[in-house]
Amino acid sequence: MKVSLHLISSFIKSSSLKISGLVSNSTVLLIALFFSFGFTQAQTGQISGSVITNEGNAGQGVLVKLVEINKTAVTNSAGNYEFKKVPFGKYTLEVTMSGYESSLETAELTEQIPTISVDIKVNSSIENLDDVVIRTGGNRFAKKESFDVAKMPLKNIENSQVYIVVSKELMKEQVVTDYNSAFKNVPGAGIAEVRNQGRTTSMSRGFPTPQVVRNGVGSFTYTTIDPSNLERIEVIKGPSATLFGSTLSSFGGLFNRVTKKPFDTFKGEVSYSAASWDLNRLTFDVNTPINQDKTALLRINTALHSERSFQDAGFNRNFSIAPSFSYKINDRLDLLIDIEFSMYKATSPTRLAPFVVANTQSSIEALDIPYKLSFANNTINYTSQQYNVFTQLKYKMSDEWTSQTILSRTRSSSDGYVVALQMRSPTTLRQQVTYQESPFYGTDIQQNFIGVFNIGKLKNRVVAGLDFYSLRATRNDAIVNMPAMDYKKPGAAYDNFNIQKVEPMFANATFTNFVSNDEDTYSAYVSDVLNVTEKLLVMGGVRIDKYENHGTYYPSKDSIAGNYNQTAVSPKFGVVYQLVKDKVAAFGNYMNGFSNVSGSDFNGNTFKPNQANQWEGGFKFDLPKISATLSYYDIAVTNITRDDPDHINYSIQDGTQVSKGFEAELIANPISGLNIVAGYTYNDSKYEKSNASVQGLRPSTAGSPRTANLWASYRIVTGRAQGLGIGFGGIYGSEYYQTNTTTFKFTIPAYTVLDASLFYDQPKYRIGLKVDNLTNEKYWSYRLAAQNPTRVTANVTFKF
């Protein structure tokens, strides 16, 4: 109903004459303006909703248009859009994506329905949204939505747990050619610790965290991981045993690598990278439907990679292939088979053990070891092989319930020679060579029931599951030692280290053949997220683990040692209050993790599992231009074993360790074309009750107390130079320890490593140039391995 200002004013003025002039003309005018404003407000409403792909993913950075009034909005990282103050009437909402048919929905605002929610489904995969985000200049790296983190559909803003996502778009822009480089974008990850077989461990909240999770389940990959098949990396913070178990999660969290999946359009790319130290890398990514109705889909990723070390010796060569097949059996049942296979040949990474001098302090810098000497030889190398088979059946039991059945099988092996460096005096070191044959076999069988339903007006999202995880490994190895040499002037001893000299030494070496791992875990868990109101959510969950360690088996003695069983319970609670619906939330959580411990005390009492209890609180922001998380956590680890002061060679279980700190993550798009990813962490870890040698000290395994990361890029989004961009960023880590005891400390210096890139991204091709370590910083990992100096990488990618 339209009411004119003139009629309202006349009506009030005539009424005012009857109340003895108590209301002045000026007051009447103010009242008239108030009524007029109120009626005007009543004529507008709000249209909001989300854009969802046909795979069920959030359509981030998509342009949504109200056709009739030519008003536009860009979806945020959760795929949400919003139009405010829209006049009443009928509207057409249009989602336009370059190269695809537009998606249209209609909406009507009336006095009776002034607010409406419209979800729009786009007939395309998340893969095809990249061009849209580039064209609109949206928040390209804010792709936070995940199914694996909570094992159910739950938005980041609704989740009381903190997690980080490193997207493939960010990795492409940074010309990432190795898995560890992607972790430059993870707050607190530090410099990766690369172990003998190429497997890596990074830091999370002061705890070393291995790479053993793939697509949300166990994938015990004991070798190098190639990044060619990565859709994204999910870094789940805090002890996460409730949903993932103790064998997959450290007390600081876990790293979940999510692989690329098939989608229903033909698309692909061929990419070639060349870099310093003879790096050559060729990758293929091809996706296609394989039947007319697009119920059967196939995607294949493959990579050929070779490079040498910047040092005098060292190399790696890798071949990997990753086919992924999905089949929609019927309207309710979907099958996914996802496979990775790789073969790798390399020299082992550097591992140095410093010489301990009591009551002293030293550092890797003070040793002054020649930075470009490897003390290795290319003839002394190893080969590894790994495969991962992931099979998933999803069955829609009803509108409310879905069944998810997963089988994951892994095998990874390393055969050949690995080298460790041992200092024998303040000026000498020797090479220690291990010949090994060590296959690892892993199986994870998981059954989840996922429900979304209401009890009265309360919305419940539930996951209940059963999980069986098995790990078995054998070892057959022997060790020989080379003579010590002056590491500053090694002379002829340096040249004598080769396979011809080393191999005969194993003829008289003692080999040990044994089953190093033989363990099974049986688990049951349940988690429920309850919407108390639209803004208030509470979550609770619990897991029961029965762990069976079958011990170490020695075939030569036909004996087993160290077998034991343990049962542990892991609860989890959380609360989220959305201060601004879908945009700003305050959260808090209590999470638990545990680690099984073998052995017993002097009285024969079997040790209990270590327990880690985390309390955390903070804020999450999911705005159109900013996605951010701020949090403070406090983790207390109990039941740590320490030396028994009353009984030599025995332990007691009353030790404690704390790890607390602050984390911040920012993903921003302040102006069109400018994208920023940044993070900062502060971690305070110490032993509160432990052996006298480390009492009150920071664990040497806790990494840098302070770290920071930044990546900022600007891309031109309009005009003839559209797609041209530049990026700059880096990482920082404060000084940390390789050894930290009351009698000897060995430090690793602080580091600041700066990178830059230049790129030109077009629908049919992409050209990129990346310079890593612009200032040629010298820095080292926890294992005292020298890291790469300045490196230049060029990349060209053709898209089809």
Neighbours of 292 (CB within 10 A): 7
- The DSSP symbol for 585 reads E
Neighbours of 728 (CB within 10 A): 15
With a CB cutoff of 8 Å and minimum separation 6, the contacts of 655 are 638, 639, 640, 641, 642, 687, 689, 690, 691
Is residue 594 within 8 A of residue 241, CB to CB? The reply is yes
Nearest Cα neighbor of 407 from 325, 320, 337 is 337
Mean pLDDT of 332-345: 96
Give the SS3 label for residue 55. coil
Which token pair is 562? 């160290």
**Is 25 within a domain?**
no
Task: Read off the CATH number of the domain in which 54 is found.
Answer: 2.60.40.1120
Q: Which residue has the tokens 């172990």?
A: 195
Give the SS3 label for residue 480. strand
Q: Which of 122, 144, 169 is at the close of a domain? A: 122
**Is 316 within a domain?**
yes
pLDDT at 369: 95
**What digits encode the pLDDT tens for the residues 38-57?**
444 458 889 988 887 765 56
Which token pair is 332? 């309710």
**What digits encode the pLDDT tens for the residues 465-476?**
999 999 999 999
Asked which of 115-119, 570-574, 650-654, 676-680 is least confident by mean pLDDT, the reply is 115-119
Sheet hosting strand 193-194, strand order edge to edge: 193-194, 200-204, 207-210
| 25-41 and 5-16 helices, crossing angle to 10° | 140
Is residue 330 within 8 A of residue 350, CB to CB? The reply is no
Neighbours of 345 (CB within 10 A): 16
Q: Torsion-angle region of residue 9: left (phi > 0), alpha (psi -120 to 50) or beta?
A: alpha
Q: Which residue has the tokens 């054998």?
A: 474
How far, in Å, CA of 542 to CA of 322, rounded? 35
Report pTM: 0.85
Mean pLDDT of 146-156: 91
- The DSSP symbol for 700 reads G
> What is the phi/psi pair of residue 492, to 5°?
-65, -25
With bands split at pLDDT 50, 70 and 90, how would you rate the model's confidence at 188? very high
**Is 39 within a domain?**
no
| AA letter at 110 | T
**Is 406 within a domain?**
yes
Q: Is the dihedral of CA 641, 642, 645, 651 positive or negative?
A: positive
| pLDDT: which is higher, 738 or 77 | 738
Is residue 131 within 8 A of residue 142, CB to CB? The reply is no
**Is 354 within a domain?**
yes
Give the SS3 label for residue 508. helix
**What digits encode the pLDDT tens for the residues 228-249?**
999 999 999 999 999 999 889 9
What residues form DSSP beta bridges with 425? 428
**Is 488 within a domain?**
yes
What residues form DSSP beta bridges with 578? 585
Nearest Cα neighbor of 364 from 411, 429, 434 is 429
With bands split at pLDDT 50, 70 and 90, how would you rate the model's confidence at 195? confident
Q: Work out how many domains the chain is built from and give that number.
A: 2
pLDDT at 124: 53
Length of the chain as a residue count: 800
Mean pLDDT of 257-272: 95
E-assigned strand segments in 217-332? 217-218, 230-237, 253-259, 267-275, 279-289, 296-308, 315-328
Which class for 113: exposed (0-12), middle (13-18), buried (19 or more C-beta within 10 A)? exposed
The helix (H) or strand (E) run that includes residue 764 is: none
Which token pair is 299? 């995607």
pLDDT at 103: 75
Query: 301 lies in which domain range?
Result: 267-799
How far, in Å, CA of 359 to CA of 349, rounded? 30
With a CB cutoff of 8 Å and minimum separation 6, the contacts of 336 are 261, 324, 325, 326, 390, 391, 392, 394
Could you tell me how far CA 724 lies from the centroid of its own chain? 28
**Is 215 within a domain?**
no
Q: Which of 122, 144, 173 is at the close of a domain? A: 122
Task: Read off the CATH number of the domain in which 749 is found.
Answer: 2.40.170.20
Largest CA distance in the chain: 119
Q: Which residue has the tokens 């208030």?
A: 536
pLDDT at 322 over 80: yes
How far, in Å, CA of 263 to CA of 445, rounded? 25
pLDDT at 97: 54
Q: Give the β-pairing of 744-748 and 360-363.
A: parallel
How far, in Å, CA of 626 to CA of 669, rounded? 6
**SS3 helix, strand, coil % of the chain, rounded to 5?**
10, 55, 35
Q: Which of 122, 147, 173 is at the close of a domain? A: 122
**Is 164 within a domain?**
no
With bands split at pLDDT 50, 70 and 90, how would you rate the model's confidence at 20? very low
